[in-house]
Amino acid sequence: MKRLLYFLPVLVFAVVAGYFVWGLNPERNPREVPSARVGTAVTPFELPPIDGSSVPGLSSADLADGEVTLVNFFASWCLPCRAEHPLLMRLAAGGKLRLIGINYKDEAADASQWLAELGNPYDRIGADRDGRIGIDWGVSGVPETFIVDGQGTIRHQQIGPIMPRDLEDEILPLVEELGR
Amino acid sequence: MTARLAGLCLLAVMALWAALPAGAVMPDEILDDPALEARARALSQNIRCLVCQNESIDSSNADLARDLRLLVRERLLAGDSDRQVQDYLVARYGDFVLLTPPMRPATYLLWFGPFALLLAGAGALLLLVRRQRRSGSAEAGPAPLSTAERARLDRLLDAAEEGGKPPASPSSPGPSKGA
CA dist list (Å): B119 to A8, B109, B113: 19, 14, 10
| Yes or no, beta carbons of B68 and A135 under 8 Å apart | yes
Q: How far is CA B79 from the centre of its chain?
A: 38
Count other C-beta atoms under 10 Å from residue A123's C-beta: 16
Q: Does residue B12 sit within a domain?
A: no
A150 CB near a chain B CB, below 8 Å?
A: no
Q: Does residue A30 sit within a domain?
A: no
My answer on whether B41 and B85 are in the same domain is yes
* Closest by CA position to A148, among listed A125, A116, A180, A175: A175
Give the distance from residue A143's alpha carbon to the nearest chain B alpha carbon, in angstroms: 13
pLDDT at B20 over 60: no
My answer on whether B36 and B88 are in the same domain is yes
Give the distance from residue B4's alpha carbon to the nearest chain A alpha carbon, in angstroms: 51
Residue B174: per-residue pLDDT: 46
**pLDDT-based confidence at A152, cuts 50/70/90?**
very high
Average model confidence (pLDDT) for chain B? Answer: 82
Residue B53: per-residue pLDDT: 76
Q: Please, what's the b/e burial string for A66-76 (b: 16 or more CB within 10 A of its CB; e: otherwise)? A: eebbbbbbbbb
Residue B94 has its nearest CB partner, among A34, A135, A136, at: A34
Mean pLDDT of A133-137: 94
Q: How far is CA A104 from the centre of its chain?
A: 13
**pLDDT-based confidence at B179, cuts 50/70/90?**
very low
Note whether B55 and B92 are within 8 A (CB). Answer: no
Q: Which residues contact A71 (CB under 8 A, 6 or more apart)?
A: A63, A100, A101, A102, A137, A145, A146, A147, A148
- What are the pLDDT digits (tens) for A44-83? 999 999 998 899 999 999 999 999 999 999 999 999 999 9
- What is the phi/psi pair of residue A136, to 5°? -60, -30
- What are the pLDDT digits (tens) for B152-168? 999 999 988 887 565 55
**pLDDT-based confidence at A149, cuts 50/70/90?**
very high
My answer on whether B64 and B128 are in the same domain is no
Q: Does residue A25 sit within a domain?
A: no
Q: Please, what's the b/e burial string for A138-162 (b: 16 or more CB within 10 A of its CB; e: otherwise)? A: bbbbbbbbbbbbeebbbbbbbbbbb
Give the distance from residue A93's alpha carbon to the nearest chain B alpha carbon, in angstroms: 32
Least confident of B9-23, B50-64, B111-125: B9-23
Q: Does residue A66 sit within a domain?
A: yes
Residue A114: per-residue pLDDT: 94
Of B116, B132, B148, the last residue of a domain is B132
pLDDT at B139 over 70: no
| Yes or no, beta carbons of A35 and B94 under 8 Å apart | yes
Residue A136 has its nearest CB partner, among B68, B92, B95, at: B92
My answer on whether B76 and B32 are in the same domain is yes
Report the chain B residue with the minimal C-alpha distance to residue A136.
Answer: B92
- What are the pLDDT digits (tens) for A82-104? 999 999 999 999 888 899 999 99
Q: What residues make up the domain containing B123?
A: 103-132
Query: In this structure, what CATH number is given to the domain that contains residue A50?
Result: 3.40.30.10
Q: Does residue B146 sit within a domain?
A: no
pLDDT at B177 over 70: no
- What are the pLDDT digits (tens) for A8-31? 899 999 999 999 999 898 888 777
d(CA B136, CA B138): 5
- What is the phi/psi pair of residue A177, to 5°? -65, -40
Q: Does residue A170 sit within a domain?
A: yes
Q: Does residue A158 sit within a domain?
A: yes
Residue B54: per-residue pLDDT: 85
My answer on whether B39 and B90 are in the same domain is yes
pLDDT at B101 over 90: no
- How many domains would you assign to chain A? 1
- How many domains would you assign to chain B? 2
Taking contacts as CB-CB distances below 8 angstroms, the residues of chain B near A37 are: 92
Q: Does residue A21 sit within a domain?
A: no
**pLDDT-based confidence at B178, cuts 50/70/90?**
very low
ipTM at complex level? 0.79
B68 CB near a chain A CB, below 8 Å?
A: yes
Mean pLDDT of A136-165: 92
Note whether A87 and A119 are within 8 A (CB). Answer: no
* C-alpha dihedral, B56 to B57 to B61 to B63, nearest 10°: 140
My answer on whether B57 and B114 are in the same domain is no
Of B77, B100, B123, the last residue of a domain is B100
